[in-house]
Amino acid sequence: MIESGVMPKTGAIASRGRIAPMTVSLPEISSVSWSTFMTGKDPGGHGIFGFTDFKDSSYALRYPSFRDLGTRTIWDALGERGMRSVVINQPATYPARPIPGLLISGFVALELEKAVSPVSYLPTLKRMGYEIDLDAARCKENARELFSSLRALLAARQAVLDDLWERESWNLMEIVVTGTDRLHHFMWDAYEDARHPHHEDFLSYYRSVDDFIGRILDAFQRTCGDGGFFILSDHGFCGSRKEVNVNAVLRKEGFLDLPEGASSLEGVTEATKAFALDPARIYLNRKGAFPRGSVGTEDERPLLEDLAAVFDALEAGGEKIVRRIVTGDEAYSGPFARSGPDLLLVPRNGFDLKGRPGAGETIGDRRFQGMHTWDDAFFLSLDASVIADCGELTIVDAPKRILRSLDVER
């Protein structure tokens, strides 16, 4: 978008400063990435491994929330030094809890009433008609409603930002635009195909985002001068061609014993060696960890090798599906590392890996036009020196560099 001239204001920032590619934590989904960003730790250090996780000693699922975050945030670190943060539309922070400043939760917040701290700001949000997110089910099927909702949400974010910019005293102002994610999932084809009926709508939304960024930069420079102005993404994106069901592969290869069409993993038997959660998190059916666990400590390494061999050989139409296979020990460090998956699969672009329990087909039609990627997120700093020595930048590094720009070390 910068190179094509669609986002000239953002391009000017990149020209003055520096933009660097960035890898994100695995799996490459928003709940994990934003938890990593807000803590400066990988999932082994903060305890969030996905939108779903297992209940203790059970195959039943729970839905981790902000309450489950197992370490302090960058906003806490700033607060310890008497600094205040204003955070707008931050995913993975629901239900909102007090921070040194003000927090408005983003995706997947369910009720606005529980998405604001302090709650005294709630009446203002309601007067503005502020909404947390668009209606994904309706917008996926209705392009007109999608683009209308995207414009309305961006305008609402701008209104709240303008209000809080003047109303609050702050040292860190953070705002998240999730509309680009929705657009990519639902309308990626319109980006890639210049003849698509909504190609211009796609570009028009990005021009609006560029204007949004430009307004923030103008306000920032009037208030703060040059320096600590940053833009980053929590993952990359590419087009999706096929969905690949990891549990279907595990069942076919004899690692998973679960009835066809099962709606959960609660019916796995002792014959099961491994199973997966979205998007491609594979867990060993360990003795002591699960009710019908069958994998002993001595079996773990050879089982992981067998699993890696299966997915390394997995192909569709002569094309390899899996690009990279990472063990939990390689991906995670910290007190929660052992609670995470044992194996993670990074797909090749175009193959959207899923962990639904009951899907019979190994490879099926895509449900979304766009899918997340792991190693082409980005970090842009108006002050090039902040990332001049970054080498291979990861999302774990991003908050540390932001804090350093404020003369704060974690």
> What is the tens place of the pLDDT at every residue in 215-258?
999 999 998 877 799 999 999 999 999 999 999 999 999 999 98
**Residue-number span of the structural domain to which 312 is assigned:** 242-367
Contact 334, 35 (CB under 8 A): no
Q: List, in sequence order, the alpha helices (H) in 295-393.
A: 297-313, 328-331
Spatial distance between the Cα atoms of 156 and 275, rounded to a whole number of angstroms: 41
Q: Are residues 104 and 211 in the same domain?
A: yes
Phi and psi at residue 272, to the nearest 5°: -75, 135
Q: Is residue 90 part of a domain?
A: yes
Q: Are residues 261 and 115 in the same domain?
A: no
Spatial distance between the Cα atoms of 388 and 34, rounded to a whole number of angstroms: 23
Provide the Cα torsion 260, 266, 268, 274; round to 10°: 100
Q: Is residue 121 part of a domain?
A: yes
Phi and psi at residue 57, to the nearest 5°: 50, 45
pLDDT at 410 over 60: no
Q: Is residue 3 part of a domain?
A: no
Q: Are residues 191 and 272 in the same domain?
A: no
Query: What mean pLDDT comes out for the span 347-373?
Result: 93
Q: Are residues 260 and 220 in the same domain?
A: no
Q: Are residues 261 and 293 in the same domain?
A: yes
**What confidence tier does 361 reach under pLDDT thresholds 50, 70, 90?**
confident
Percent of the chain with pLDDT over 90: 90
Spatial distance between the Cα atoms of 359 and 354, rounded to a whole number of angstroms: 10
Q: Are residues 183 and 198 in the same domain?
A: yes
Q: What is the pLDDT of residues 338-349, one digit of tens each?
A: 999 999 999 999
Spatial distance between the Cα atoms of 146 and 135, rounded to a whole number of angstroms: 8
Q: How high is the mean pLDDT of the chain?
A: 95
Query: What letter represents residue 21's amino acid?
Result: P
- Two tokens, residue 111: 């009720």
Q: Are residues 197 and 256 in the same domain?
A: no
Query: What mean pLDDT comes out for the span 123-150?
Result: 95
Q: How many alpha carbons fall within 13 Å on the CB side of residue 169?
A: 4
Q: What is the pLDDT of residue 223?
A: 87
Number of independent structural domains in the chain: 2
Of 89, 98, 81, 231, give the one whose Cα is nearest residue 171: 81
Q: Are residues 48 and 33 in the same domain?
A: yes
Q: What CATH code is carried by the domain that includes residue 335?
A: 3.30.1360
Q: Is residue 410 part of a domain?
A: no
Q: What three-state secondary structure class fits 348?
A: coil
Q: Is residue 311 part of a domain?
A: yes
Spatial distance between the Cα atoms of 41 and 25, rounded to a whole number of angstroms: 9
Q: Are residues 207 and 342 in the same domain?
A: no
DSSP 343: E
Element (H, E) at 33: helix 30-39
Size of the chain, expressed as the number of residues it contains: 410
Element (H, E) at 370: strand 370-373
Residues 6+ apart with CB under 8 A from 261: 358, 360
Contact 205, 148 (CB under 8 A): no
Q: Are residues 312 and 175 in the same domain?
A: no
- Two tokens, residue 407: 């003369």
Q: Are residues 211 and 93 in the same domain?
A: yes
Q: Is residue 2 part of a domain?
A: no
pTM for this predicted structure: 0.95
Q: What is the pLDDT of residue 259?
A: 80
CA gyration radius, the chain: 22
Q: Are residues 230 and 343 in the same domain?
A: no
Q: What is the pLDDT of residue 359?
A: 62
Q: Is residue 190 part of a domain?
A: yes
Q: How is 5-17 classified by DSSP, letter by letter?
A: TS-HHHHHHHHHS
Q: What is the pLDDT of residues 237-249, one digit of tens each?
A: 999 999 999 999 9
Q: What CATH code is carried by the domain that includes residue 159?
A: 3.40.720.10
Of 44, 43, 60, give the one whose Cα is nearest residue 52: 60
DSSP 362: S
Spatial distance between the Cα atoms of 361 and 358, rounded to a whole number of angstroms: 9
Q: What is the pLDDT of residues 67-96, one digit of tens each?
A: 999 999 999 999 999 999 999 999 999 999
Q: Is residue 132 part of a domain?
A: yes
